[in-house]
Structure 1
Amino acid sequence: QDYYNGNLIENLNMEYLYDGLWKAARFPLSAKMIDPVSCKITTLQNQINLMIEYANNSLKYFNTSHIIKNIINISKFGTEADDQVDIFKESGFDGLKQYLMNSTQYI
């Protein structure tokens, strides 16, 4: 719909997009990044909130709005990777191995 209305922003700075992707994989959601649309400093969490707002109608249309709950949970409590880092800090590699063995579901 945005494409047909002329609202789709296509000329984004790829360096800013790559920077945001790298930071999302490496840093907490409070990390600062450059908004690829406005070129202003923002946080990963703010960009996630903008993405949710942007995609909300489509998520409702395709009956997939339950995904927002998962995004909010990750925003509040972190990812499983965050849990693994915490366990490694507390218990070392042996503790992490034990955690992974206990939390893995085998079919």
Structure 2
Amino acid sequence: MSADADDTTRLTEEQIAEGLADLPGWAFSEGSLTYTAVCETPQAAIDLVAAIGQAANGQNHHPDLLWSYDEVTLDLRSHDVEGVTIRDLRLARAVSALSGEFDATPLGVDEA
């Protein structure tokens, strides 16, 4: 990632691809980072939603989030710059870590 990219700089598709390279389950689509985690139970999904909410609030970031039974789907983009920034990649990393803590599996990624 470019060292001069700050929190309000819109990233290029190449920078986004580089940032997502080690984040299984994340994709760049229609100007946003997208991710769906599949949890073991609906309660685990609710707990994951709460943890993501805390992490997002702590970063002063407000993703679009959908909870559906045992799935949690996120759509990340920085609305103030109408694109993806380093803030979105930072929150994506946090969400991936939280997914692991809650034993959630990224949709479309086979468990090892």
TM-score range, shorter chain: under 0.3
Answer with 1 or 2: which has the greater Rg: 1
Q: TM-score, normalised by structure 2?
A: 0.27
The structure with higher relative contact order (CA 8 Å, sep 6+) is 2
Q: TM-score, normalised by structure 1?
A: 0.28
Comparing both structures, which one devotes a greater share of its residues to strand? Answer: 2
